[in-house]
Amino acid sequence: MYAVEMRKITKRFGSFTANDQIDFLVKKGEIHCLLGENGAGKTTLMNVLFGLYKADEGELKINGKEIKKHSARNAFQCGLGMVHQHFMLVDALTVWENVVIGNEPGKFSINKKEAIKKVQELSDKYHFDLNAEAKVADLSIGMKQRVEILKTLYRGAEILILDEPTAVLTPQEVLELLNIFRDIRKQGKTIIFITHKLNETKAVSDSLTVLRAGKSVFQAATKDVTVEMLANEMVGHEVSFHLERKKQDAGETILSIENVKLLENASNTVSLDVHAGEILGIAGVEGNGQMQLEEMIMGLQKCKEGKISIKGEDITECPTKKRLGLGMSYIPSERHQRAILPGFSILENYLLGNQNDPKYVQHGWINFKTLSETTKKLMEKYDVRAVDEKQSIGSLSGGNQQKMVLSREVEKDSDFILVCQPVRGLDIGAINYIHEILLELRNQGKAILMISAELTDIFQLCDRIAVMYKGEVMALGKNEEFTNESIGLLMAGQRGVES
């Protein structure tokens, strides 16, 4: 029996068709993964299922019953629960308060004792290992994710929709969450799991559906497919997973960070060197000092303690403009806030950071002819897909925006490149392309410091790895000295871990 039957679902936004005649079938009591590149229509389809959007065409059945008038309220009544990628919790409240809010037990007032008992029993039943009376603000990100899932189960959800639930978890937390999924499945529940992580798809799902450009292009039992097959189906062509990071000796020190205090409550300072011809990776769950490191290197935040040097020159007190002039390139973690102006054209965005280059600007006048010619060449060279250079950059996909930013910074021919969250939110095709470019820059002798929450990036690209936790470097060593498990424990704050 199917828990979910969506047949010939079409959803349009004006002239744009986000879902085009999609068939999506999920059997009762299974874990089903929904895969696809950015913009493939995954979230739109799930919003239709959950009643947040109304389909323009198509038929929806839940547990064999046809649903005519669908809404989010009706979705709860049909046993649907949705856990969004960004948590919707109140940190100041306890676990039980977050879980029961809006559905509190008690006739005229909240029966606190009964509420705590119900939440604790539910947590124990699914092995969530949560204390119902703990304050949410004190929980790890992985535990907060469990509270979100517990909220849906408390409301009686039989079909759970989870949007990228492992995006911000450590490897250990991912394994624990996948085990929780298996426990939920044992209770007869159905899980729909939106993800771009193919290894997790293979590890936990029973079946899968791949969307591409708004259409359903592939359905299969997970046991019958390989990771390579799924990647090829997602992008529509063959994807190479075998990136070669050839061995080479690191050169001179380009960037030096000496005894820098990243967080006020950190017990220790941070010291790191980045050499020519290497990629040094900063691994860690976001929020452990990575943003402060990024901002202090680029002069966006004052370095109150310690020293930062580029090619031996002290830049601790230098403004960002001078740092860039000394041979630094910067790919920020917050693309929309610091790397592009979404309302401006691609051509105008290429000019950002180059407005003092006499090739493009002389005596306050922009040479649009030269700028346009250069922009066109770079768009072709870096495979930035757009109508032309005058198209608004905000209308491009995330992958094309990131390739534009990468091309602009790489073409400055800097000795040092700070690369932050380079593939965040990108699909597998764009990820593979950006990985290739970063390895080529490393092979050319560039010094690259890469901050990434994605361990796949760290292991595939980096020569050395530093693991950060609460503003401190927990461990620093060569790539081959670490494993997923050892890095995961270090990311959770466990020192003295053997690699």
Encode the chain in three state secondary structure. CEEEEEEEEEEEECCEEEEEEEEEEEECCCEEEEEECCCCCHHHHHHHHCCCCCCCEEEEEECCEECCCCCHHHHHHCCEEEECCCCCCCCCCEHHHHHHCCCCCCCCCCCHHHHHHHHHHHHHHCCCCCCCCCEHHHCCHHHHHHHHHHHHHHCCCCEEEEECCCCCCCHHHHHHHHHHHHHHHHCCCEEEEECCCHHHHHHHCCEEEEEECCEEEEEEEHHHCCHHHHHHHHHCCCCCCCCCCCCCCCCCEEEEEEEECCCCCCCCCEEEEEECCEEEEEECCCCCCHHHHHHHHCCCCCCCCCEEEECCEECCCCCHHHHHHCCEEEECCCHHHHCCCCCCEHHHHHHCCCCCCCCCEECCEECHHHHHHHHHHHHHHCCCCCCCCCCEHHHCCHHHHHHHHHHHHHCCCCCEEEEECCCCCCCHHHHHHHHHHHHHHHHCCCEEEEECCCHHHHHHHCCEEEEEECCEEEEEEEHHHCCHHHHHHHHCCCCCCCC
Question: pLDDT per residue over 408-452, tens digit each?
Answer: 988 888 999 999 988 876 767 778 888 888 999 999 999 999 999
Q: CA-CA distance, 27 to 346, in Å (whole number)?
A: 45
Task: Please give the pLDDT value at position 496.
Answer: 57
Percent of the chain having pLDDT more than 90?
51
User: pLDDT band for position 498 (50/70/90)?
Assistant: very low
105-119, 233-247, 299-313: which range is least confident on average? 233-247
Q: What is the mean pLDDT of residues 40-66?
A: 91
Mean pLDDT estimate for the chain: 88
Lowest mean pLDDT among 28-37, 152-161, 190-199: 190-199
The predicted structure's pLDDT at residue 499: 42
pTM (predicted TM-score): 0.71
pLDDT score, position 240: 66
Identical topology for domains 2-235 and 253-491: yes
Nearest CA to 437 out of 414, 469, 403, 471 is that of 403
- Token couple for 329: 């390139």
Q: What is the pLDDT of residues 384-410, one digit of tens each?
A: 878 889 988 887 777 788 888 988 988
| 110-124, 164-178, 267-281, 348-362: segment of lowest average pLDDT | 164-178
Q: Is the CA virtual torsion 166, 168, 173, 174 positive or negative?
A: positive
Cβ-proximal residues to 149 (8 Å cutoff; 6+ apart), any chain: 83, 128, 160, 162, 165, 180, 184
Alpha-carbon distance of 366 to 359, in angstroms, equals: 9
pLDDT average, residue stretch 477-483:
92
Show me where the domains of the chain are located.
2-235, 253-491
CA-CA-CA-CA torsion for 114, 119, 125, 127, nearest 10 degrees? -150
pLDDT band at 134 (very low <50, low <70, confident <90, very high): very high
Amino acid 269 reads T
Question: Which CATH number is associated with domain 253-491?
Answer: 3.40.50.300
Condensed to tens digits (0 to 9), the pLDDT of residues 226-270 reads 988 998 888 887 776 667 777 888 899 999 999 999 998 888 999
Token couple for 387: 């109508």
Q: Angle at CA 463, nearest 5°, toward 461 and 469?
A: 90
Q: Name residue 447's beta-bridge partners.
A: 278, 416
Does pLDDT of 478 surpass 50? yes
pLDDT of residue 242: 67
**Does the domain made of 2-235 have the CATH classification 3.10.620.30?**
no
